[in-house]
Amino acid sequence: MNKAEYDAFLARCPSRQLLDRIADKWVTLALAALRSDCAGEPRPMRYSELARTLAGVSQKMLTQTLRALERDGLVTRTVVPTVPVTVTYELTALGLSLHDTVRGLKAWAETHMDDVLTNRASYDTVRSGAGDPPRS
């Protein structure tokens, strides 16, 4: 397909696979975690630093996530032959083009979480009553 033919609303469009990848929780958080330094620039991070930043991610899941991001060209992996070996991950130009969007999505979720929790509680209260109201 050429670029003009991509339409994620179509079932066979390969951009759906990319959206599926980007929508993954660990992918989104890993891209956001490759965070900015004091000057506001994204910077390389060591594997262990990423693992600490992404609370709850397993070693296996982080490795799979980083490999997928590397395969898609969103991050580069650099191995420095030190003792022990130092491995860092850094956003590529393609990854940088997505970084602000992912950070914005993360910030939106954090900013609006209280609203979502309130709406969930209201919804659950209505639904737990005597039957659901009719849907239109």
Q: Which of 108, 79, 77 is nearest to 91 (CA)?
A: 77
pLDDT (0 to 100) of residue 129: 78
Dist. CA 53–CA 91, nearest whole Å: 16
pLDDT (0 to 100) of residue 5: 82
Could you tell me the two tokens for 66? 């980083």
> Is pLDDT at 49 greater than 60 in this prediction?
yes
Residue with more model confidence, 95 or 132: 95
Mean of the per-residue pLDDT values of the chain: 88
> Is pLDDT at 1 greater than 60 in this prediction?
no
Sign of CA dihedral 61, 112, 74, 9: positive
pLDDT (0 to 100) of residue 108: 94
pLDDT digits 0-9 by tens, 66-123: 999 999 999 999 998 999 889 999 999 999 999 889 989 999 999 999 999 999 999 9
> Is pLDDT at 37 greater than 90 in this prediction?
no
Prediction pTM value? 0.81
Dist. CA 77–CA 87, nearest whole Å: 7
Q: Which of 59, 89, 60, 87 is nearest to 75 (CA)?
A: 89
